[in-house]
Structure 1
Amino acid sequence: MLRTVAMMQPYLFPYLGYFQLIARSDVFVLGDDLQYVKGSWMNRNRVLVNGQPKLITFPLKKGHLTECINRRWLCDDFEREADILMKMLERCYAKAPQRDQVLPLLRGILHHPERNLALFTEHSIRSLCAYLDIKTPIYSGSSLGLPARMDMQERVIQIVHRMDGELYLNPIGGLELYCPARFRAAGLLLRFLRMDDITYAQFKHPFVPSLSIIDVLMFNSRNEIKELLQRFSVVEGQEKRATLSPA
C-alpha cells in the first residue's frame, strides 16, 4: 500500500471525518504554522443541546489577523471558560450512553495547563486518538522548517516528500484546491477522503449531522466508533482545465 500523508490545521474537537483522515494515513501533519483564520473551526465547534446544534467557542487573547496558529493563545481566564463548558456538557449529555467514559476524558483535555492554541489543540487530538486507539504518528508542521510564505500546493508537496510519502490524502472539501497533475509532476498521487452519510441515535431527536467528535463519543462506544472510522470512500481529484475568458 502506498505510504499516505495527510495534513490539516489543528482543530479543537473536530468532526468524525477529521479522525477518519488521521486513521487512514500513515503520517499526519498538524499545520500549526499556517495562518489562524477567524471564525474557523480552530477554536470553536458544535455540540447537541436540546436536539439542536449549539456553537461552542474557546476564547483567545487578541492577536494580529496574520499570525500563525502557533502564535495564538487561549484567553487568560480560560480555566473558568473550561469549567463553564464542562458544566454545559455534563448537563446536555447527562443521559448519553457513554457519558461516564467520555466526561473524564474531556475534563482532562479541557484542564490541560497549556495555553498556546496549537499545543493545546495538539494535546487534545493526541488524547482523542489514544482513546480511539488511532496509532498514526502525528507531527507539527512547524518542526519541518519550511519557509513561512509558500504556495499551498508546493507546501503540501514538500511535506509529503519530507515524510517519504507517495500519496497525499485530503478531505473532500479541498477538491477544488489541489491539482492532480501538479502532484503527479512531483512524483506523487493525490486522493480525497469522503465520509459516508453516517447517522446514530441522539436521544429521541432527529439526527443532527456534522457535530463535534464530542457528540460522536457521547453516543457511541469505542468499538462502534472504530467501525464508523472505516465508513468513507477515497476518490480521485478532478483535472483542472484552462478556461478562456469571454471576448
Structure 2
Amino acid sequence: MRVALMQPYFLPYIGYFQLIGAVDLFVIYDNIKYTKKGWINRNRMLLNGSDTLFSLPLAAASDSLDVCERTLVAPPARHKWLAQMKGAYRHAPHFASTARLLDSIAGAPEENLFAFLHQALLKTCAHLDIGTPIRLSSTVPIDHALKGQDKVLAICQAVGASTYINAIGGTELYSRDQFAARGLQLQFLRSLPFDYPQFGAPFVPWLSIADVMMFNPVGTVRERVMTHYELI
C-alpha cells in the first residue's frame, strides 16, 4: 500500500493533490504545531499578473498550540480571502465553477482551523474526483511524541504501508536506507511543469490549486493531477 503524509495547507498547489492521487492512503497531520510563517493557513494567487498571498486570519493565541487548537477569526473578516480571489479571477474562463467550490468552502461552519482546512481539502478532492481515503494522523495508534522521520516510519508501519511517497522537497529529510530497514520503499513525487494562459501575461507557476482551476476545465486539472508527475 502506498502512503503519503502531509501537513494541512489552505488550497495548496497542484503537487499536493498529485501526492493524494498517487497513493492508496493519505494521512494528514492534525496534531502538529502550527507554524506562523508556513503555508498552513495561506497560499498564493494571481493578482494583476503577480503572485499575491491570501490567508485565513486566525484568532490571537499562543504559538505553541497545535493546528487543531487554533481558531479562525469571526466572519466577515474570515472570508476576506474569498472576496480577494473573486476580484482577482472574475474574468477567468472557469470562474463560475471554481467560485461555486470556493463559496462552498467558505460557507462551512467550522471555526477550528484544522476542521476548516480538512473540509476544504475534502471538497476540493471531490470537485476533482480524487477518491483517495484521507485519515487524520491523531487516529493512527503510534507514539505521537515521535518527531520527523521516526514519526513517519511509525505511521507507515501502523497503517500497513509498503511504500512511502513524499513531495520532492523532502529529499534531504528522509533516508532510503532507514526506510528499507523497515521494509519500506521510499519515493519522491516531482511535479512536471504545467503552463497555461493567465490573462495573456507571463506565466506564474506553482500558485494555489484555485488558480489552476480558474484557467482550466475540471477534466484537464484532474488529468494533470493524476498523471503529470514523476516518481523518483
Common topology (TM > 0.5) = yes
Name the aligned partner's letter for residue 33 of structure 1.
N
Alignment match, 2:181: 185
Q: 66-75 or 14-23, which moves further after superposition?
A: 66-75
> How far apart are 1:82 and its partner, in Å?
4.1
Q: Is the 8 A contact 2:7 2:29 kept in 1?
A: yes
Alignment match of 1:38 (pick from 25, 36, 39): 36
Mapped pair 1:197 → 2:185: no
Alignment match, 2:15: 17
TM (norm. structure 1) is 0.90
Name the aligned partner's letter for residue 123 of structure 2.
S
Q: Distance in 2 between matches of 1:145 and 1:65?
A: 26
Once the two structures are superposed, what CA deviation does each residue of 1:165-195 show, in whole Å capped at 9, x if it has no partner?
Answer: 1000000001000011111111111110000
Structure 1 unaligned regions, length at least 5: 236-247
Alignment match, 1:234: 231
Alignment match, 1:90: 86
Name the aligned partner's letter for residue 172 of structure 1.
I
Identity %: 38
Name the aligned partner's letter for residue 82 of structure 2.
M
1:58-137 equivalences in 2 (<5 Å): 58-75=56-73, 77=74, 79-137=75-133
Q: Distance in 2 between matches of 1:118 and 1:213?
A: 19
Name the aligned partner's letter for residue 15 of structure 2.
G
Name the aligned partner's letter for residue 119 of structure 2.
H
Q: Is the 8 A contact 1:82 1:111 kept in 2?
A: no
Q: Distance in 1 between matches of 2:71 and 2:84?
A: 23
Alignment match of 1:158 (pick from 133, 151, 154): 154
Name the aligned partner's letter for residue 37 of structure 1.
T
Q: Distance in 2 between matches of 1:42 and 1:84?
A: 17
Aligned length: 231
Once the two structures are superposed, what CA deviation does each residue of 1:4-43 show, in whole Å capped at 9, x if it has no partner?
Answer: 0001001010000000000001000001111111111100
Alignment match of 1:49 (pick from 47, 50, 56): 47
Once superposed, what is the RMSD of the aligned Cα atoms? 1.1
Give the secondary-structure state (helix, strand or coil) at the position aligned to 2:27: strand
Structure 2 unaligned regions, length at least 5: none
